[in-house]
Amino acid sequence: ETGVTQSPTHLIKTRGQQVTLRCSSQSGHNTVSWYQQALGQGPQFIFQYYREEENGRGNFPPRFSGLQFPNYSSELNVNALELDDSALYLCASSPAGTGYGYTFGSGTRLTVV
Amino acid sequence: DQQVKQNSPSLSVQEGRISILNCDYTNSMFDYFLWYKKYPAEGPTFLISISSIKDKNEDGRFTVFLNKSAKHLSLHIVPSQPGDSAVYFCAASSSLQGGSEKLVFGKGTKLTVNP
């Protein structure tokens, strides 16, 4: 059973650019959630995808968007990058829309300069 | 508005002693609570959880206590081992539309267990 894999592991972007982060969910999990963890903070919920539809969203602006594909993998896109977007982005998969039983990936460390 | 609070950024204990990590919350609608452990360069790993209708859950060396009236939970690790050194996050489950759930995390407590 494979876990959650995220790519890339590290990324450096310039302010104003766009970035796409990728996540492959754990086998058997059809729900993917994305979290942002800023330095010294706990993970903050960005949004969740279930059956290729956005299933809930946290307090993040519309320039944060996502997709889920038929194989349950997911992308997080961030447009017009700002310095405060520098953070660890965590993807978590779970069965059937629950928060219970989350499996987290190791994250993508995004640095915006 | 931080709904889940971990007021101790760090905790240091001796190997073999008890580690007690604390967490407070403000939202009485949370369904259940979870503890995650995080090592550097890894994602958070689920440790133990407790339903809002229980007051204690035990799994090996780990026990979580819930005091609903005080909106407080704690994680006890007995005996503590050096391999327990990590950042511990308290999280609460919050409902989304359509019956789904998200997790609300505290800021974490860095536990160091000294040999």
Q: Is the pLDDT of residue A98 over 70?
A: no
Question: Nearest-CA residue of chain B relative to A95?
Answer: B100
* pLDDT tens digits, one per residue of A25-83: 988 888 999 999 999 999 999 999 988 889 889 999 999 999 999 999 999 999 999 99
Indicate the pLDDT class of residue A99, thresholds 50, 70 and 90. low
Find, in chain A, the residue whose alpha carbon is nearest to that of B96.
Answer: A56
* Helices of type H across chain A: none
Distances (CA, A) of A68 to A24, A35, A108, B90: 10, 15, 18, 28
How far apart CA A11 and CA B22 sit, in angstroms, is 34
CA–CA distance, B31 with B102 (Å, rounded to integer)? 11
Q: Which residues of B touch A49 (CB under 8 A)?
A: none
pLDDT, tens only, B46-86: 999 999 999 999 999 999 999 999 999 999 999 999 999 99
Beta bridge partners of B19: B77
Within 10 angstroms of residue A108's Cβ, the number of other Cβ atoms is 21
pLDDT value of residue A2:
72
The minimum CA-CA distance between B85 and chain A, rounded to whole Å, is: 17
Shortest Cα–Cα distance, B81 to chain A (Å): 23
Q: Does B62 touch chain A (CB under 8 A)?
A: no
**Structural Rg of chain A based on CA atoms:** 13
Predicted confidence (pLDDT) per residue in A14-32, tens digit: 999 999 999 999 888 889 9
